[in-house]
Amino acid sequence: MTTCSPVSHALTAGGLRSGDQAPEAVPGSEPIRFLDLQSMNAEVWPEISERWQTLFASGEFIGGRAVEEFERSWAAYCGVRHAVGVGNGTDALVLSLRALGLKHDDEVIVPANTFVATAEAVVLAGASPRFADVCPDTLLLTPESVRAALTPRSRVLVVVQLYGQVADMDALAEVADEAGLFIVEDAAQAHGARWRDGRAGSFGLAGCFSFYPGKNLGAAGDAGAVVTDDDALADRLRVLRDHGRTGSHHAHIEVGTNSRLDALQAVVLSAKLRRLDAWNASRRQLMARYRENLDGSAARLLSVAAPVTPAHHLAVVRVPRRADVRAGLAERGIATGIHYPTPCHLSPAFTDYFDRPLPVAEAAAEEILSLPLSPHLSTADVDRVSEALLDLLHGLESKR
């Protein structure tokens, strides 16, 4: 359960989830939270409370205007024709893959270094995940790693835009074309990130989003969406998410499921969407500061390829002696996360799909550490985290 958890950084209303290293108070310095969801929520609360009141009085909880409004604005923001709201990000992936009509023998290529839901969705959609290694500098898929994972059974390539970065979509589209694969994007960590002029989620046949509270665009509970330019796919997803209904309440044309976006969540998402660009810009500024502070040190931030404007969902550094570094930061009141400690191909849940070692993902899993990052974090806090990190690395080095 703690393995591959995307929520090790997530704050519930009151504080840290179990499994996090809770920051302890140190005299003279306030603890630094991993994610400051409270400040984001406070910014949107006046607008949300007003709209929730109206919605509650109307009783329009499932579907309706609030959901349609958010779906329209999310599609427009991503630069595509359709956004189909669903219950969560995992279902966004499952329903997209189901809509492609995969069969039991079909393989879906997924990176080994991702949240477990990416691979889980493939199995839930009735196909087999085939794990691919990642690039050591970005921890994203590369054309070479995808080529190495291709088999005659490959049908779909799921490109995960991990940590708010975007993979090389030109090169990956070329490989997918050559091999006759559909591209589905897992953009659950990349709301608003760009590759050249396009938004994450708009590059494949379908772009899957999670609006889990801790994501860059987060609801007040579970929510998700699929974006697509394909009219037929959008229609199919609308049928699948609502018990296979075609419009009429009692006409079920296939076995669907119940995975709809709640109106109450749509209201939260519409309010937060208006702030997403500003919040992402703040994340980029803070990351630039981390980069400046840590430049040339043993704490190596992942690199960003030139045509990418990242959304920086997470601030991931690779450090030696991670357990000691992490404990040292916790002692100084600084909360961190690990995304993810076990690459999916080594997770007990996926032993049936293990076929070969993937050295880059495996080595990275030992070293990666996610530093505090959220739009309302101060530059002074970034400096404090950086100084503590440099100090710890220096101390560990001289103790060798």
Ligand X SMILES: *Cc1c(COP(=O)(O)O)cnc(C)c1O
Q: In this complex, which beta carbon is closest to ligand X, that of residue 161 or of residue 293?
A: 161
State the angle between helix axes of 89-99 and 117-124 in degrees (0 to 180), rounded to the nearest 10.
Answer: 40
Residues 217-236 interacting with ligand X (rule: CB under 6 A) = 222, 224
State how beta strands 107-111 and 128-132 pair: parallel
Among 86, 160, 308, 369, binds ligand X (CB under 6 A): 160
Phi, psi angle pair for 196, to nearest 5°: 50, -120
Residues 47-66 interacting with ligand X (rule: CB under 6 A) = none
HSE-up of 19 (CA within 13 Å, CB side)? 17
Q: In this complex, which beta carbon is closest to ligand X, that of residue 114 or of residue 228?
A: 114
* Pairwise CA distance, residues 262 & 356, whole Å: 41
Which residues, listed in sequence order, are joined to residue 156 by a DSSP beta bridge? Answer: 108, 182
* Pairwise CA distance, residues 322 & 18, whole Å: 20
Q: Of how many residues is the chain composed?
A: 400
CB 223 → ligand X: shortest distance, Å? 7
In three-state secondary structure terms, 64 is coil
Q: In this complex, which beta carbon is closest to ligand X, that of residue 200 or of residue 393?
A: 200
Of the ranges 110-118, 170-178, 329-337, 367-375, which one interacts with ligand X (CB under 6 A)?
110-118
* Pairwise CA distance, residues 205 & 64, whole Å: 26
- Minimal CA–CA distance to 141: which of 152, 156, 128? 156
Of the ranges 122-130, 132-140, 181-189, 368-376, which one interacts with ligand X (CB under 6 A)?
181-189
Residues 185-204 interacting with ligand X (rule: CB under 6 A) = 186, 188-189
Q: In this complex, which beta carbon is closest to ligand X, that of residue 41 or of residue 118?
A: 118
Q: In this complex, which beta carbon is closest to ligand X, that of residue 299 or of residue 346?
A: 346
Of the ranges 21-29, 88-96, 126-134, 230-238, which one interacts with ligand X (CB under 6 A)?
88-96
Sheet holding 315-318, edge to edge: 300-301, 315-318, 368-371
**88 lies in the binding site for ligand X (CB under 6 A):** yes
In three-state secondary structure terms, 152 is coil
In three-state secondary structure terms, 17 is coil
Of the ranges 112-120, 146-154, 280-288, 340-348, which one interacts with ligand X (CB under 6 A)?
112-120
Of the ranges 33-41, 183-191, 253-261, 299-307, which one interacts with ligand X (CB under 6 A)?
183-191
**117 lies in the binding site for ligand X (CB under 6 A):** yes
**115 lies in the binding site for ligand X (CB under 6 A):** yes
Binding site for ligand X (CB under 6 A): 6, 88-90, 114-115, 117-118, 160, 186, 188-189, 210, 212, 222, 224
